[in-house]
Amino acid sequence: MKVVTILGTRPEIIKLSPLIPLLDKEFDHILIHTGQHYSYQMDKIFFEELKLRECDYILNVGSATHAQQTANMMIEIEEVLLKENPDMVLVQGDTNSTLAGAITSSKLNIKVVHVEAGCRSFDKNMPEEINRILVDHCSDILFAPDENSFANLKSEGIKKNKIHLVGNTSIDACLRARHLFNKDKLAELGLEKNEYALMTLHRQENTDTDQLKEIMDAVNKISHEIKIIFPVHFRTLKILKENNFDIGENIILTEPLGYGDFVGLLSLAKFVMTDSGGIQEESAVLNTPCLILRENTEWNYLVDLGKNMLVGTKYNNIVDSILNLLMDEEKLSKMRNIKFNFETGVSESIISLLKS
């Protein structure tokens, strides 16, 4: 059986990293990189670090408006699919690469497999939410990461026999990457275990100039109380520089980190502030309190569990929530110690179901 996997962003590479070698082993497997965020050359460090083979097709679509980018991907993907004639196409998550792959495959009557199906923030102002819904309703096989996602799919009328509750591949990826971290990195950055906060910020709604300034003003205030390391997404850095935003002296800006270094720093941080979806699960696995710089999340079960906390995107809410938490070591400790049950071996389960 021939399977095509489509990816185009670093989170997809990370989350699919435990699955790709198994797909290579069990199927005639073709790997397509769309180049959604960066060139393949810039992503190559992730492939090397995670010991993944090179892609069969590199589309180098690059950045554009949502419509232009998705349309360009669909044109290029269609050409590959017509040439390769696969039995199924596998996509992951909620990116434009995911959407382009799912729609193109569906139009060609090729089975669509969606890994991380059913996640919902219930906020259609987020482009990712539109992608999630459309991809799920194009898909023939849906792998849900948690019970909430499974329930979302059923409530939207998707047939139960299409849905499989398997867990999340990102957990296996995170546990594997933890062993790649060299603890000398802490000294190199002037950090000590549990004495710094980690931060990421990249979502479209948070990198609008006014919104980004409000968040950064809050982070500057928090940095008076704790050192913050901030690996900066290229888009975020561009806006910070163009607008000459003030960056507090206790904030360490770095280039985007390799996955092993990032997971290592995440595991040793006092807490993480992020708008990333993937980091919300990774921090829960590593027992690092996660403070979500968003008004909502697709990983609601972790908030309900008390493992993560939504702090919003407004100055007062961010500052009050995080400074109060910094003064409450008991609450931080409770967040760390809440038991988070998760599945491992998810990629093996997916392969078994695809073969059945």
pLDDT (tens digit, 9 = 90+) per residue, 177-213? 888 888 888 889 999 999 999 999 988 787 888 888 9
From 219, 169, 181, select the one nearest 199 (Cα to Cα): 219
Q: pLDDT band at 234, cuts 50/70/90? A: confident
What pTM value is reported for the model?
0.90
Is the pLDDT reported for residue 38 higher than 80? Answer: no
Q: Which of 31-40, 182-191, 239-248 is the least confident region?
A: 31-40
Neighbours of 105 (CB within 10 A): 27
Is the pLDDT reported for residue 123 higher than 80? Answer: yes
pLDDT for the residue 208: 82
48-90: pLDDT as tens digits: 889 999 999 999 998 889 999 999 999 999 999 999 999 999 9
Domain 2-165, what fold? Answer: Rossmann fold (3.40.50)
Domain 184-337: CATH class, spelled out = alpha beta
Q: How far is residue 314 from each of residues 64, 130, 270, 292, measured CA to CA in Å?
A: 28, 24, 22, 12
pLDDT for the residue 42: 63
Residue 163: enclosing H or E segment and its boundaries? strand 163-165
Beta bridge partners of 142: 114, 163
Confirm whether 2-165 and 184-337 share one CATH topology: yes
From 216, 231, 221, 341, select the one nearest 276 (Cα to Cα): 231
Averaged confidence pLDDT in the chain? 93
pLDDT for the residue 311: 97
Average pLDDT on 97-110 reads: 98
Provide the sign of the torsion angle of the four alpha carbons 302, 173, 175, 197, taken in this order.
Answer: negative
pLDDT for the residue 104: 98
Our answer to whether residue 202 is catalytic in this structure is yes
- What are φ and ψ of residue 30, in 5° steps? -115, 130
pLDDT for the residue 179: 81
pLDDT for the residue 46: 84
Q: CA 161: distance to chain centroid? A: 27
pLDDT for the residue 40: 59
Nearest-angstrom CA–CA distance, 79 and 30:
14
250-304: pLDDT as tens digits: 999 998 888 999 999 999 999 999 999 899 999 999 999 999 999 999 999 999 9
Q: What angle do CA 134, 170, 183 make, to 5 degrees?
A: 145
125-173: pLDDT as tens digits: 999 999 999 999 999 999 999 999 999 999 999 999 999 999 999 999 9
Q: Which of 137, 202, 224, 233 is catalytic?
A: 202
Residue 114: enclosing H or E segment and its boundaries? strand 111-115
Which residues are CB-neighbours of 217 under 8 A, at least 6 positions away?
246, 315
Percent of the chain's residues with pLDDT above 70 = 99
Q: What angle do CA 191, 192, 195 make, to 5 degrees?
A: 100
Is the pLDDT reported for residue 307 higher than 70? Answer: yes
User: In which order are the strands placed within the sheet that holds 88-92?
Assistant: 57-58, 28-33, 2-7, 88-92, 111-115, 141-144, 163-165
Question: Six-digit token pair at 296?
Answer: 């909502």
Is the pLDDT reported for residue 36 higher than 90? Answer: no
pLDDT for the residue 91: 98
Is the pLDDT reported for residue 215 higher than 90? Answer: yes
From 139, 110, 145, select the one nearest 30 (Cα to Cα): 110
Q: How far apart, in Å, do the first and last CA atoms of the chain sit?
A: 12
| Extents of the domains making up the chain | 2-165, 184-337
